[in-house]
Structure 1
C-alpha cells in the first residue's frame, strides 16, 4: 500500500478538518477499490439523509482524532 499519510499534524483547525475529510474518503476508496462501483453507489447514498448523516459522523470522528494529534491547536 502506498504511503499517503505522513502525519496527522496540521497547522490550523481548517487544515485538520480537510484532513479528516480526506481520511474519510480514503477509507471509502480502500474499502471499495473499484471506482466504477463507488460512482454507481454515489447516486443512492447522495439522496439518503441517513447515509449523509453517517458520512458526517465519520468525518467528525476523524476530526476528533486529528484535533487530539494536534493538541487541539493550542
Structure 2
C-alpha cells in the first residue's frame, strides 16, 4: 500500500478526532482488503449496539494516541 500517514500532528482536537476515525477505517481496510466483503459484513454490525460501541472504542483509543502525539494541543 502507498504511504498515506506521514504524521500524527494535527492543528486542532477536531482534526485529531477526524484522524482517529481515519485510522480506525484504514485499520479495517488493512484487515479486510475486500470492499465487497466489507459491504456484506456491514449489515451484520450496523444495527448491533455492541458492534457500534466496539467501533467507538477503537476510535477513542486512536484519539488517545493522536492527542498524546500532539501534547494534548497545549
In which range does the TM-score fall when normalised by the shorter chain?
Answer: over 0.9
What residue is the counterpart of 1:54 in the other structure?
54
4+ runs deviating over 6 angstroms: none
What residue is the counterpart of 1:41 in the other structure?
41
The runs of 5 or more residues in structure 2 that have no matched partner are none
Structure 1 distance, partners of 2:8, 2:33, is 23
Q: How does 1:60-71 map to 2 (within 5 A)?
A: 60-71=60-71
Number of equivalenced pairs: 74
Structure 2 distance, partners of 1:45, 1:4, is 27
The runs of 5 or more residues in structure 1 that have no matched partner are none
TM-score (norm 1): 0.99
SS at match of 1:42: helix
CA RMSD, Structure 1 to Structure 2 (Å): 0.4
What residue is the counterpart of 2:21 in the other structure?
21
